[in-house]
């Protein structure tokens, strides 16, 4: 959670390093599970360790590494990859935020108030921490029963994100209150730095969808929402992941709210890495002009009908055929052949300039 949150606000790769020097989480997935000598040294010494380009630290890259210390106890280290001089202040701030978050988690384990149980259970469900948690005196089933949650009804997860909120509170309050009242949900939690997660029963899905669709489109409201699919309690983690997928799609396409249940091709394509999408589109569309791309777009919008496309573009059918032939010559793909047409259609969906102010340049 800490690494994912840092990835959204920092321009550096971030590593969370355990007491044994093993990278537990990272914005660079290939580093997870590897040994980080500078992070281990920061943990052992209790002081920051900076790595210059020529320093022989095993498994470490240039950057800065800070120990995570909570109430005098060293728990691991946070590392930022980059020029130590440039990322030093960001690393220090992230470390302090991490220590606060860890301290909050440790305190939550000891208090076990109803509100803390509610938040803890929500996190256990969405992060897939199993039927019980080590060190907790309360099993997941016992906690759900204590919260008077029905276990025989499927649930879905909604994720709310406020783009302008640096921390807990503020703009979320009225919307969250309305959502909880309408859904009857007893399970929700705040996720640093700007999200709330709500778990609700399947019978409230339509009401939740209507509220989120209406509230997230109001002027001045900066909240976006992603809604996961309905699943059993044991699969709430999957619904949470799917809600995040829907949220990313909403953000990428300027939508206030999106449902995973409306999964379609371009939502799947959005999961591809940016460079892959750009390369796929460029290799197929790079030689086409703005007019040719728009012609292709119209061709697909009219279900590959030559007659309807020609009428929509005020072209003679023979002229349209000629221009499609030119597109085939430029791309090596014939939009009138099924498999080749699919490649061109996907390339249009992936074109990074499709929704930009300089689209099709």
216 and 306 both lie in a single domain: no
CATH number at residue 95: 3.30.450.40
Residue 359 domain flag: no
Q: Are residues 127 and 186 in the same domain?
A: yes
**Conformational region of residue 303, where left means phi above 0, alpha means psi within -120 to 50, and beta covers everything else:** left
pLDDT of residue 175: 84
Closest to 130 in 3D by CA, of 120, 75, 160, 145: 120
3-state secondary structure of 111: helix
66 belongs to a structural domain: yes
Do 150 and 97 fall within a single domain?
A: no
Angle between helical axes of 290-301 and 338-350 (0-180°, round to 10): 120
Q: Is residue 358 part of a domain?
A: no
- The span from the CA of 322 to the CA of 28, in Å, is 48
Which tokens belong to 193? 């730095």
Q: Look at residues 96, 136, 98, 132 and name the one whose alpha carbon lies nearest to residue 116.
A: 136
- One domain, residues 182 and 59: no
125 vs 233: CA distance, rounded Å: 8
Backbone torsions φ then ψ of 64, nearest 5 degrees: -135, 145
55 in a structural domain = yes
* Interacting residues of 286 by C-beta distance below 8 A, sequence separation 6+: none
Residue 283 CA to residue 351 CA, distance in Å, equals 10
Residues 256 and 299 in one domain: no
Residues 213, 306 within the same domain: no
Same domain, 292 and 250: no
Is the separation of the CB atoms in 14 and 78 below 8 Å?
yes
Do 124 and 234 fall into the same domain?
yes
Whether residues 17 and 146 fall in one domain: no
Q: At which of 263, 297, 319 does a domain end?
A: 263
Which structure tokens are listed for 170?
A: 């503020």
- The reply to whether 322 falls in a domain is yes
Distance, CA of 347 to CA of 324 (rounded, Å): 16
pLDDT value for 204:
95
- Assess whether 85 and 135 both reside in one domain: no
| Whether the Cβ atoms of residue 175 and residue 162 lie closer than 8 Å to each other | no
- What pLDDT shows up at residue 167? 47
Domain that holds residue 247: 114-263
Last residue of a domain, one of 224, 244, 263: 263
Q: What CATH number should be reported for the domain holding residue 302?
A: 1.10.10.2840
Q: What is the pLDDT of residue 137?
A: 45
Last-in-domain residue among 61, 78, 111: 111
Per-residue pLDDT tens for 126-176? 997 644 444 444 577 777 877 888 888 999 999 999 876 544 444 567 888
Determine the pLDDT at residue 135: 44
Which residue numbers in the chain have pLDDT < 50? 130-137, 166-170, 356-361
Report CA-CA distances (Å) from 32 to 6, 214, 237.
16, 41, 21
Contact 77, 3 (CB under 8 A): no
**Overall number of domains in the chain:** 3
Query: The tokens 């259609």 sit on which residue?
Result: 345
pLDDT score at 229: 95
| CATH number, domain with residue 168 | 3.30.70
Q: What is the pLDDT of residues 10-48, one digit of tens each?
A: 888 999 999 999 999 999 999 999 999 999 999 999 999
- Asked if residues 132 and 140 have their Cβ atoms less than 8 Å apart, the reply is yes
Question: Does one domain contain both 190 and 228?
Answer: yes
Q: What is the pLDDT of residue 218?
A: 54
Residues 151 and 255 in one domain: yes
**pLDDT at residue 131, as a whole number:** 44
Tell me if 355 is assigned to some domain: no
């Amino acid at each position: 959670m800490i690494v994912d949150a840092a990835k959204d606000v920092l321009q550096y790769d971030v590593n969370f390093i355990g007491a044994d020097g093993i990278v537990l989480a990272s914005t660079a997935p290939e580093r997870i599970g590897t040994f980080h000598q500078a992070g281990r040294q920061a943990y052992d010494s209790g002081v920051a360790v900076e790595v210059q380009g020529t320093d022989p630290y095993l498994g470490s890259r240039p950057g800065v590494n800070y120990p995570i210390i909570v109430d005098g106890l060293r728990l691991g280290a946070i590392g930022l990859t980059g020029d130590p001089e440039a990322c030093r202040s960001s690393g220090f701030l992230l470390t302090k935020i991490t220590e606060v978050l860890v301290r909050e988690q440790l305190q939550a384990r000891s208090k076990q108030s109803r509100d803390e149980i509610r938040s803890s259970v929500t996190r256990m469900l969405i992060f897939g921490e199993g039927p019980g948690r080590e060190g907790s005196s309360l099993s997941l089933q016992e906690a759900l029963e204590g919260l008077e949650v029905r276990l025989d009804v499927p649930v879905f997860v909604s994720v709310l994100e406020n783009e302008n909120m640096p921390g807990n509170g503020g703009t979320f309050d009225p919307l969250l209150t309305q959502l909880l009242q309408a859904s009857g949900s007893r399970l929700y939690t705040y996720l640093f730095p700007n999200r709330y997660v709500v778990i609700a029963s399947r019978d409230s899905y339509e009401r939740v969808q209507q509220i989120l669709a209406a509230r997230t489109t109001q002027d001045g409201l900066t909240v976006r929402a992603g809604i996961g699919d309905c699943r059993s309690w044991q699969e709430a983690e999957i619904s949470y992941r799917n809600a995040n997928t829907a949220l990313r799609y909403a953000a990428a396409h300027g939508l206030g709210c999106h449902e995973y249940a409306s999964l379609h091709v371009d939502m799947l394509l959005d999961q591809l890495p940016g460079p892959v999408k750009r390369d796929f589109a460029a290799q197929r569309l790079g030689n086409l002009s703005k007019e040719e791309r728009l012609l292709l777009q119209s061709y697909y919008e009219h279900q590959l009908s030559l007659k309807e496309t020609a009428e929509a573009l005020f072209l003679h059918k023979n002229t349209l055929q000629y221009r499609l032939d030119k597109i085939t010559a430029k791309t090596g793909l014939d939009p009138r052949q099924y498999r080749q047409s699919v490649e061109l259609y996907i390339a249009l969906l992936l074109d990074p300039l499709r929704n930009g102010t300089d689209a099709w340049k």
